[in-house]
Chains A and B, each alone.
Chain A
Amino acid sequence: MTDKNGRLKNGMAIFKRTLQGTIVPVVLLIVWEALTQSGFINPQILPAPSQVLLKWIAYLKPLEPYDPANMSYLAWLFSGELPHDALASIIRVVGGFGIGAGLALPLGLLMGGSARFYQLMNPLVQLLRPIPPIAYIPLAILWFGLGNPPAFFLISLGAFFPVLMNTISGVRTVDEIYIRAARNLGASGATLFLRVILPAATPHILTGLRVGIGVAFIVVIVAEMIAVNNGLGFRILEAREFMWSDKIIAGMITIGLLGLAIDTGMDRINRYLLRWHRGMDQ
């Protein structure tokens, strides 16, 4: 009874907070719409939100009418330009991130675990780390030409360093007490590393992965503007050539939603993997 009441109250509170949160964006949209509708702002420069929404729907919709002879319903549903672009971008982010993190993780574990290897590798890492991945664009094109290879190269490079640096510091800053406790219990070698040092370093490593995928997502947009002819980054740059400001903004919103989805996904994974961690209760 009280529980039900409490839940109801809680629900109301959430509803109220959501409502409050929408006030500013809604007011902003209304002002924006009014300004463009009244001709105060050139719609070529800044299209009305309603126009952006229409464009977004058109961008999302399948190009051809549904024909069962041609393809399945699901395939047709996602045959629009936007789903294609989004999928192309996602594949690049995931692939590039997979390569970058996949290389950085073992290297970081090695560098964190072995002082000798760290001394050997650290100067090089420190030298390369401050170079922004964007600065590799000319080299990437020179080495790989145009198309997906330079894009994957740049994206994996973007993900590589955040994962590497956080993995190294995660392993190196494992609290001595855990290592002592483990050695006291008889752990050594691989057991010590895999069952104690690695889990103790996971909070750092996951932070690195999260930053890494964030950077990968930035780089994918840049790489698509330069090296390929599909994907969200390519599409908004293409729209500029035709002065389709509504499509640019529709593309940007899609990029934003995708970024939010990726970050939320990473957050979920973090929460699950770190369910043992203090301060992870809420």
Chain B
Amino acid sequence: MNDLGSPQLQIEGVSKVFGSGGTEVVALNDINLSITAGEFVCLLGPSGCGKSTLLNAIAGFSLPTCGRVVANGAEVAVPGPDRAMVFQEYALFPWMTVAANISFGLEIKKIPKAEIIEKVSTLLEKLQIKEFSDRFPKDLSGGMRQRVAIARALALDSPILLMDEPFGALDALTRRSLQEELLRIWMEFKKTIVFVTHSIEESIYLADRIVVMTFRPGTIKQVVPIDLPRPRDVASSRFITIQKQLSQMVMEEQMRFQKDEAEHLRV
């Protein structure tokens, strides 16, 4: 959608099959998607449609059965700090303090100590978690934990940020404040973001483009560009119109998901 940007992330004919024989599950089928640098893309779809599977393929946690992912000009084979990931929950290392969690990736990169301290301090400030720097994750609320997780991912300076329902477990208010924080970060650091959600509202609030996925096999149902100016007003009529359109699409897939569930229960 952005002519100036070059493709930062290319998903080429990606399919993923779990299991084999009778219990085979086609989680993804022939996904093709090109994401330009600096783009904010949301993957939207009902539970089980393969959103995490696609994100994991980009992250390199689990390689596609066929097809390939090209990130930052290289084919993805293993996980790496050029594709920083923010997980849904509890992925902070509980035995490390907040500051240690954030600096861990930098220590692995063998960055000089003074530089690490400075960088961590900047990130703590930016995400407003400075007062928690010596606390362990167990002492933090869900929202604060996700701030730390974002800081940890940002510390890597990776051009791509992958997020798997990062705000799914948060209450509405915390969620909104983190969404705004994320948009600020996205603009300041010019990240390319792939953000998984099953909240339609969240996807319209955040994304440049929404990729709506189908349920089993997971394919791209439609790519919906959102060109509302930011900050977006969730009560505006255009926002609501788009929301209705998307609801319709997601609902169809949700019905297929429920039918599938019901069939599973019958056998």
- Contacting pair A178 B81 (CB below 8 A): no
- Can you name the residue of chain B whose Cβ is closest to the Cβ of A273? B95
Q: Which residues 181-201 in A have Cβ within 8 Å of B in the complex?
A: 181-187, 191, 195-196, 199-200
- The number of residues on chain A lying at the interface, defined by a beta carbon within 8 Å of a beta carbon of chain B, is 21
- Contacting pair A278 B138 (CB below 8 A): yes
- Contacting pair A180 B138 (CB below 8 A): no
Q: Which residues 219-249 in A have Cβ within 8 Å of B in the complex?
A: none
- Contacting pair B79 A184 (CB below 8 A): yes
- Contacting pair A187 B90 (CB below 8 A): no
Interface flag for A277 (CB, 8 Å): yes
- Interface range, B side: 20 to 34
> B80: which A residues are within 8 A, CB to CB?
184, 186
- Contacting pair B81 A184 (CB below 8 A): yes
Q: Which residues 69-100 in B have Cβ within 8 Å of A in the complex?
A: 78-81, 83-85, 87, 90-96
CA of A175 to CA of B91, assembled, Å: 9
Q: Pick from B91, B105, B109: contact of A180, CB below 8 A.
A: B91
Given A177-B87, A183-B79, A184-B83, residue A196 in contact with residue B138 (CB < 8 A): no
Q: Pick from A178, A186, A187: contact of B91, CB below 8 A.
A: A178
Q: Pick from A177, A180, A200, A276: contact of B136, CB below 8 A.
A: A276
The smallest C-beta distance from B261 to any residue of chain A, in angstroms, reads: 25
- Contacting pair B84 A199 (CB below 8 A): no
Interface flag for A275 (CB, 8 Å): yes
> A277: which B residues are within 8 A, CB to CB?
94-95, 138
Interface flag for B104 (CB, 8 Å): yes
> B138: which A residues are within 8 A, CB to CB?
276-278
> A275: which B residues are within 8 A, CB to CB?
136
- Contacting pair A186 B83 (CB below 8 A): no
- Contacting pair A191 B108 (CB below 8 A): yes
- Contacting pair A185 B108 (CB below 8 A): yes
- Can you name the residue of chain A whose Cβ is closest to the Cβ of B56? A180
- Contacting pair B108 A181 (CB below 8 A): no
> B147: which A residues are within 8 A, CB to CB?
none
- Can you name the residue of chain A whose Cβ is closest to the Cβ of B109? A186
- Contacting pair A276 B79 (CB below 8 A): no
Q: Which residues 266-281 in A have Cβ within 8 Å of B in the complex?
A: 275-278
Interface flag for A202 (CB, 8 Å): yes
CA of A181 to CA of B80, assembled, Å: 10
CA of A175 to CA of B92, assembled, Å: 12
Given A186-B80, A186-B108, A187-B108, residue A181 in contact with residue B87 (CB < 8 A): yes
Shortest Cβ-Cβ A-B pairs, 5 listed: A185-B105, A186-B81, A199-B95, A276-B136, A183-B79
Beyond known contacts A180-B87, A183-B61, A276-B136: 16 more, CB 8 A cutoff:
A177-B87, A177-B91, A180-B91, A181-B85, A181-B87, A181-B92, A182-B93, A184-B59, A184-B79, A185-B84, A186-B105, A186-B156, A195-B104, A199-B96, A277-B95, A277-B138
Interface residues of A (CB under 8 A from B): 175, 177-178, 180-187, 191, 195-196, 199-200, 202, 275-278
Interface residues of B (CB under 8 A from A): 59, 61, 78-81, 83-85, 87, 90-96, 104-105, 108-109, 136-138, 152, 156
